[in-house]
Every structure is written in structure tokens, then in C-alpha cells.
Structure 1
Amino acid sequence: MTLFLTFVTSLIITYLSIPSIIKVADEKHLYDLPSEIKTSHSTGIPTLGGIAIFGGTLITSTFFIDFDTIPRFNYILCAMTLLFFTGVKDDVIPLTPSKKFIAQVISAGILVFKANIRLTSLYGLFGIQALPYWISISISLFTIIVIINAFNLIDGINGLTGGVGIIVGLTFAFFFYQIQETGWVVFILALCGSLMAFLKFNFANKIFMGDTGSLLVGCISVVLCISFIEHPEVQKKYSNSFTPVFAFCILIIPLFDTLRVFTIRIFNKKSPFQGDRKHLHHILVDGGLTHWQASFIMYLANLSIILLAYSLKHISALFLLFGVLALCTVLSFLLVSFHKPKSKSSNINKPQAIEH
């Protein structure tokens, strides 16, 4: 009953909040304005949906979670709040990339040093076991910043970040529920309820989540990812090296797409942070699909990789990792080869906030 109430409460809070946010954005002209390269929607659309997502998640989780079930949860909320205010500022008055990066580093530092959300071992992956303390700190900070930005980068079409966030959250919730970590499950359902309500307005093209939402979803996702990998009960259920690889597979859409576009840009001697339309979701939309069609394909791809990886949990983790990367590379190559852009005028997408 608690889990059900958590999801419904979060959904209701967010659902009731968004119309008010849209009204304020209309009155104050707080819009995401079209740009020639990154977007072609013809009218301004509010980018403050992340405020409602944050409100629904925060209010619901703090009400229903027994803080004893999630050690140092207050520091997780602190990191989330810092990213929230960073996102709001950037959605209203764009920040420079360096200022956003500093905020992300501080948030990552709070998670690593205060909340103790860090990778202490690679559990045999690449033959590496326990990590020395400062290497553990460095890898953890890097992982947190990469995943936060990965979710920010895929926030390019309606429904993608929100839907992937739900898939990632519910997958982790399934495994945390198995080991009776109800605190984490409640936290996840608080986020998923908010995202579900947001998607109703987002697919109707009435509001975007903006950096406020994408940074929040990325932050929570990386907290769940590292907590899953490091949990001793998870380690008991599965072979040690499987858990980090499986966590990567759960986050395959944001991580692989980020790796792919950064590689392409560097190969073309461009800055990896220079915006373009090389993302997989852009290719699908430029090929003539609607936003919901493109997002649905990405959902199916994410779910398929998760199910494939889990079904192959007994094989070598390293073989599974390279196999998944090879499969994604081949599929993305086929997508680029057969999905030729129709015309710029047919594209409808939200700009990549991190790439301004």
C-alpha cells in the first residue's frame, strides 16, 4: 500500500503542478525559443517541467521514506537540490558550461564524500578487484558527472528522458524490491510517478523538463546505479563482475548515445560538447518519425538490451559488455545508413541544453 500511495501521490502532485507552471511561463514569457540547428518547433514552449518533477519527487519521498532505510539520504537530497537550482537558473537564464560543470562537480562531491555513493571495486571486471581509495574517488566522481550529463544530452525530443528515466528506475526498483530495500523502491516510485505525470504534458508538446528535470533524473539514476553495484545482497545473488556490466546495460540509451556522439565529434576534430544532430533520437526524427514514435523505439531498444543482458548473466561479464557495445554499434550504423533525413523543416525537437 505504501508503494502504491507513493507512486499515486507523486503523480498527482506533479500533474496538478504543471498547469500552474505553464501559466506562469506564459505570463512571464519563459520559453524555449526555436533555433535553426537544434530545434524547429515553431512556437516557444516552457522548459520548467523539471520544477514539478522535483517537487513531486521531493515531497513524496520525504513523506513516505523511512530515512533509516537509506543511509545518509539527506546528502542525496542536498545534491539533488543543488542540481535543481542549477537547472532552474539555466532554464530561465542560460549558464555558461563552466558554471554548470562546477555545480555538477560539487554535487558529485557531496554524493561521494558525504553520502558515500562511490564505486569501491570493479568486482573482477578487466581483472580489477578493490580500488585504492583515491582511484575509487576519481572513478566515482567521473561516473557521476558522465551519467548526469548523459541524461541531459538525450533530452532532445519529447518523452525520451522521462520515459528512459522510468525504465531505468523501475528496473532498479525490481532488483531492490527483491532484496527488500523498500526505501530505495519508495524513492524510485516517487520519481517515476512524477515522470509519468510529466509525460502526459510533454507528449502533448506543452512543456519540456529542461535542465532542471534532466539533471535531476541523471542524478537519481547514477545514485541508483552505484548503490545497486555496491549492495552486498546484489553481489551475493549475481556473479561479481556481472553487476557493473548490467548496470551499464540498464543505462544503455544515455551512455551509448553519449559515447557515440562524442566519438564522432572528436573524430571530426570538433569539440565533444558542440551541438549537432548526430544523436540517435535526432536521426529518427529527421527520418520522418514523430517524437512519440522515436521515443518508443528508444524505449524498446533500452528494454531489449536490459532483457538480453539479464538472460546472459551466466556468461563472461567482459564478453557481455563488448557484445552489447558491438550490437549497439551495428544497430546504430544501420539506423544511420537507412534513415536518411527528409528535410530540416520536418524536424521537431528540443535543444540540447548542455550543448548551448
Structure 2
Amino acid sequence: MENVLIATVLSFVVTYFSIPILIRVAELKHLYDEPDERKAHKQRIPTLGGIGFFSGFIIAAAVCVPTLQNSPFQYMMAAFFIIFMVGMKDDIVGLSPLKKLVGQLIASFAIIYLGNLQIGGMYGFMGITTLPSNISLMLTYFYFIVVINAFNLIDGVDGHAGSIGLLVSAVLGAYFLHVGELTYAVLGFALAGGLASFLIYNISPARIFMGDTGSLLIGLVNAVLVLKFIEVAGNPAGKMPIDATPAVAIAILIVPLFDTLRVFSVRMLQGRSPFSADRNHIHHYLLDLKLDHRQTTLISVSVNAAFIVAAYFLQGLGTTVLTILVVGAATTFTGVLYLARKRKQAVKVAVTTIAQPAAQNVTAPKILRVTTGGVLQDK
């Protein structure tokens, strides 16, 4: 318990005092996120915030994670540094999607192969229990890539990715603390403490953004925590076993996970790259409904928290039924937002169409031209 408390406070304090320095450095070096037609902000914002809570998180983890024999912590630290370097290079000089993907795969490799953390089974989903090793490996890599990019893709509104990352890491950290998995409890609360401090500067109106440096780190750390949660909570002999563990895990990540898979699927069905830009994320729907950044973030976090609570209390339904219920509820919620946005846009187009003919019918003032001899040209 002491390790967790120290990690939380240390991460919060280091991040809190780092952010103002990073804002000043970004201003001196002109390291800004420039606004464009897709982005919600209208002015240049510094983008080095991820360095701040990475510093707090990594120092707190290094100090407070207990030294255990055969612990995978050293491999996790290596993966965290790899993903940090990938994100920082992308923020400062830019990085192609392919190179970012390679960096994410290397970080995932360190955790999967060296850290021995892998999806081992489906826990009864569609009647499947164990998986062949090759299928398990491919599914684990796919899982890491999706979750890492999920937090990156929802980072489009002030406080959005940070708030959801804080919720997920705090919930998982509390679970690991309860069951005695101290290494993962420290990781969860160290990230939560750093994000809580960062959000002081990032809640609308934002003074700094986390950039890919921060969002990729949030995705990787939470991917590790959720995968470990499935392993620990899915063990019937554990201290706090949870039925339908994969379904509960999906509920924990529902907003970033479902939004990313949905957007990727739509883009590929349209013949576009899954990494191409558009305005089809859930936070775009909420913004187009005239909600501000704080309201959008609050709704997303509240919905994610509601899914977690509902999945926990409905775990007795079984993995298959609960997974279908969670995905179905997410689909319904997204569909309602989509239809509401479409209706609002249709009304806007109709109003514009009506206003334009009215403007065209206004008679322009008659201009009379006079020749040099003082004779009117137009009558």
C-alpha cells in the first residue's frame, strides 16, 4: 500500500512541476500543434505534455515497483521507453504510419516474448477456451496495436484521452492492489497520478497537449494492465475472480476500443487507409452536436464508467452473452449520436439553402455612371 501511495504522489508532483517547463520550451522552440479543419482547437498549442507525465510515471515506477525474481518489469520499462521515443519523434519531426507501426510492434515484442504476457484463451467466448499458440500470438499483437492506437485516436478533445486513461488505469490499479499484484498496482496508480496532474493543464481550455508521446504511452500501459487483468481475474482460484473476464475487459476499454475498431472498419470498407484522417470519431459527433470540450469529455468518461459498472454486475451472464450485450449497447449509443448529428447537419443545410435565395432576391442598389460630359450613362 505504501508503494502505491508513494508512486501516485511522486508521479503527480514530478508531472506538475514538469509541465510549465515544457510549455516554456515548446514556446521557445515553436513546437506547436497547428489548427486545421479537422481539429477542434483554433490556436497553436504546445505538444510536449506527454514528456511531463512520462517523466512522473517512469520515475515513480522505477522507485516504487518492488524487486521480484523473474519479474517482467524490466522488459516493460524497455517497451515504455521505445514507445516514448516513437511518440516524441513523431511530435517533433514527424513519423510515417509505417515507422510508427514498426515501433509499436517492437515495444509489443518486448512485453509478449520477453515479458511473457500473452492472450492464452477466450474464457468460454463462443465455446472457445484455449487457443493454438500461433493464433494466440497473432491475437495478442493485434490487441496491442489496436489499444495503443486507440488512445492516440481519441486524443482530439481537451482532456479526453487523459481522462479516459486516468479512469482505466485507476480502476485496474485498484483491482491489482486488492488482489496483491503490487507491480501492476504501482503501474496503474503511477500512470493515474501523472495523468491527474497533467489534466490540470489539459482540461479545456488546454494550455498543452500530450501529443503522440503521451497518448501512445497511455495506450501501451493500459494494454499491459488490461491483459494482466484478464489473466489474473480469469483465474477461478484467484483472490477476486471475475466471470466473463474478456467481456469485462472490453467494457473497461469500451470508448477507445470500440471507437477505433469502428472507425478503422469504416475507412477500410471505403477503400481508405485505416490511419487516414476524418471526423467520424465519437468525440467529433459530440462536438458537432454543439457540446464543448468539457461536456464531450464528461460524457465519454461517464459512459465508459457506466459500461464498467454494468459489466461487473452482469458478469454472471457469461462471456459470450455479455460481450454481445456490451458491443450491442456501444453500437446503439454510437448510432444514436450518428443520427442526431446527421439530423442536425440536415437542418443546418436546409436553413442555409433557404437563406441563400432570400439573399439573392435583394435588389442591388442602382449605380448611375456619368460621362465626362455630365451625361448619365445608365437610366
Q: What TM-score does the superposition give when structure 1 sets the normalisation length?
A: 0.91
- The answer to whether the Cα contact below 8 Å between 1:228 and 1:234 also exists between their aligned partners in 2 is no
Report the Cα distance in structure 2 between the residues aligned to 1:232 and 1:13, rounded to whole angstroms.
Answer: 32
- The answer to whether the Cα contact below 8 Å between 1:152 and 1:214 also exists between their aligned partners in 2 is yes
Report the Cα distance in structure 2 between the residues aligned to 1:188 and 1:239, rounded to whole angstroms.
Answer: 19
- Residue deviations 1:297-327, cap 9 Å, x none? 0000000000110110111221111111111
Residues 111 and 243 from structure 1, CA distance in 2 versus in 1: closer, same or farther, beyond 3 angstroms?
Answer: same
1:8 maps to what in 2? 9
Q: What TM-score does the superposition give when structure 2 sets the normalisation length?
A: 0.86
Does residue 67 of the first structure (1) align with residue 46 of the second (2)?
no
Report the Cα distance in structure 2 between the residues aligned to 1:41 and 1:331, rounded to whole angstroms.
Answer: 26
Deviation at 1:232, TM superposition (A): 6.7
Matched to 2:318, the amino acid is: S
Report the Cα distance in structure 2 between the residues aligned to 1:70 and 1:160, rounded to whole angstroms.
Answer: 36
2:88 maps to what in 1? 88
SS at match of 2:158: coil
Report the Cα distance in structure 1 between the residues aligned to 2:40 and 2:294, rounded to whole angstroms.
Answer: 16
Alignment of 1:10-159 (within 5 A): 10-36=11-37, 38-68=38-68, 71-159=71-159
Deviation at 1:336, TM superposition (A): 1.6
Matched to 1:222, the amino acid is: A
Report the Cα distance in structure 1 between the residues aligned to 2:101 and 2:223, rounded to whole angstroms.
Answer: 16
- Residue deviations 1:151-209, cap 9 Å, x none? 11111111111111111111112221221112211111111110001111011311100
- The answer to whether the Cα contact below 8 Å between 1:161 and 1:214 also exists between their aligned partners in 2 is yes
Does residue 331 of the first structure (1) align with residue 333 of the second (2)?
yes
Report the Cα distance in structure 2 between the residues aligned to 1:311 and 1:216, rounded to whole angstroms.
Answer: 30
Deviation at 1:287, TM superposition (A): 1.7
Report the Cα distance in structure 2 between the residues aligned to 1:69 and 1:16, rounded to whole angstroms.
Answer: 34
Deviation at 1:117, TM superposition (A): 1.3
SS at match of 1:122: strand
- Residue deviations 1:211-267, cap 9 Å, x none? 000100000011011111112774434466x11111111000111101221232233
Residues 308 and 29 from structure 1, CA distance in 2 versus in 1: closer, same or farther, beyond 3 angstroms?
Answer: same
Report the Cα distance in structure 1 between the residues aligned to 2:337 and 2:196, rounded to whole angstroms.
Answer: 28
- The answer to whether the Cα contact below 8 Å between 1:179 and 1:233 also exists between their aligned partners in 2 is no
1:176 maps to what in 2? 176
How many residue pairs are counted as aligned between the two chains? 341
1:287 maps to what in 2? 289
1:255 maps to what in 2? 257
Higher Cα radius of gyration? 2
RMSD: 1.7
1:225 maps to what in 2? 226
Matched to 1:208, the amino acid is: F
**Where in structure 1 are there 5+ consecutive unaligned residues?**
344-356
Matched to 2:100, the amino acid is: K
Residues 328 and 278 from structure 1, CA distance in 2 versus in 1: closer, same or farther, beyond 3 angstroms?
Answer: same
Matched to 1:275, the amino acid is: A
2:303 maps to what in 1? 301
Matched to 1:265, the amino acid is: R
Report the Cα distance in structure 2 between the residues aligned to 1:302 and 1:161, rounded to whole angstroms.
Answer: 12
Percent sequence identity is 39
- The answer to whether the Cα contact below 8 Å between 1:86 and 1:212 also exists between their aligned partners in 2 is yes
Residues 238 and 329 from structure 1, CA distance in 2 versus in 1: closer, same or farther, beyond 3 angstroms?
Answer: same
Deviation at 1:3, TM superposition (A): 2.4
Please, which moves more after superposition, 266-275 or 218-227?
266-275
Does residue 244 of the first structure (1) align with residue 214 of the second (2)?
no
2:368 maps to what in 1? none
**Where in structure 2 are there 5+ consecutive unaligned residues?**
349-379
Report the Cα distance in structure 2 between the residues aligned to 1:221 and 1:2, rounded to whole angstroms.
Answer: 19
Report the Cα distance in structure 2 between the residues aligned to 1:266 and 1:299, rounded to whole angstroms.
Answer: 28
